[in-house]
């Protein structure tokens, strides 16, 4: 039992260190120096690419403009779509929330999400995910439909 508690405490400490590091990287994204922005973006991408828990952190980045920009530029959208398809219930929920943030704040990023094939995993999630995941997936699918109908009305 004490081994489990020790492991949980270590995991929390690791996540706290990661979160602190990510906060610094998000601040670096706001820098006026292009090299600093590029370095921060590359580091954020590496964080999300190699560890599923870090992808939750990336999902949180989608809540601010600099984070959304970095996700779009550095290949974060395919990662999020993959998590919606293959992640744990909680990770799917967080990835769907991030995709919703990306799409509702940028038509360009929304187009990238659609091109990445997000619809089938979102449909599956809307039927079998957690309650929050279902809501996020359904909202995002409705958003896609509304965008499509809006585009059709303009044609």
What span, in angstroms and rounded, lies between the C-alpha atoms of 145 and 143? 5
Residue 63 binned pLDDT confidence (cut-offs 50, 70, 90) = confident
Q: Which domains does the chain have, with CATH numbers?
A: 2-154 (1.25.10)
Question: Which of 88, 92, 97 is CA-nearest to residue 139?
Answer: 97
**Residues recorded for the chain:** 155
pLDDT in tens, 92-107: 998 999 999 999 999 9
Mean pLDDT score of the chain = 79
């Amino acid at each position: 039992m004490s081994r489990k508690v020790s492991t949980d405490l270590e995991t929390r400490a690791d996540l706290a260190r990661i979160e602190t590091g990510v906060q610094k990287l998000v601040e670096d994204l706001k820098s006026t120096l292009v090299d600093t922005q590029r370095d921060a973006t590359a580091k954020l991408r590496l964080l999300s690419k190699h560890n599923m828990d870090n992808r939750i952190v990336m999902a949180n980045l989608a809540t601010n403009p600099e984070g959304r920009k970095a996700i779009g530029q550095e290949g974060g959208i395919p990662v999020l779509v993959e998590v919606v398809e293959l992640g744990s219930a909680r990770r799917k929920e967080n990835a769907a929330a991030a995709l919703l943030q990306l799409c509702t704040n940028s038509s360009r990023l929304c187009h990238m999400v659609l091109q990445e094939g997000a619809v089938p995993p979102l449909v599956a999630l809307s039927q079998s995910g957690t309650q929050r995941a279902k809501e996020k997936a359904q909202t995002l699918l409705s958003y896609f439909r509304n965008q499509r109908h809006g585009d059709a009305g303009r044609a």
